Amino acid sequence: MKIKVHYISLVKSFTKTSQDEFDLREDTLLVDLLDKIATKYGKPFSSEVYDPTKKEMKQTFVAMVNGVLMDQLKGINTKLKDEDNIIIMSLMTGG
């Protein structure tokens, strides 16, 4: 199945690209995709955005699946489907 991943804001500076497309097997979870991205982009991504050893997003980053925050789904255990659009971005802050 094909999954598109969009890197927005600060995340884009760690990947040096705004998007990727991945061919994944059926029954892939968001955590599997995040592990694959961490492997592809190495230390800048894994130390700032997603820690593959702890299997968690860093506090100031979030992933969305088809426009829905991962925490409103099943978090990193969200099952992905063919043609899903994933956005990885920093959380909005302000005051």
Contact 13, 21 (CB under 8 A): no
Identify the pLDDT of residue 42: 97
In this predicted model, what pLDDT tens digit does every residue of 1-43 receive, in sequence order? 999 999 998 999 999 999 999 999 999 999 999 999 999 999 9
Domains along the sequence of the chain with CATH: 2-90 (3.10.20.30)
In this predicted model, what pLDDT tens digit does every residue of 63-81 receive, in sequence order? 999 999 999 999 999 999 9
This prediction's pTM:
0.93
Q: Which amino acid is at 86?
A: I
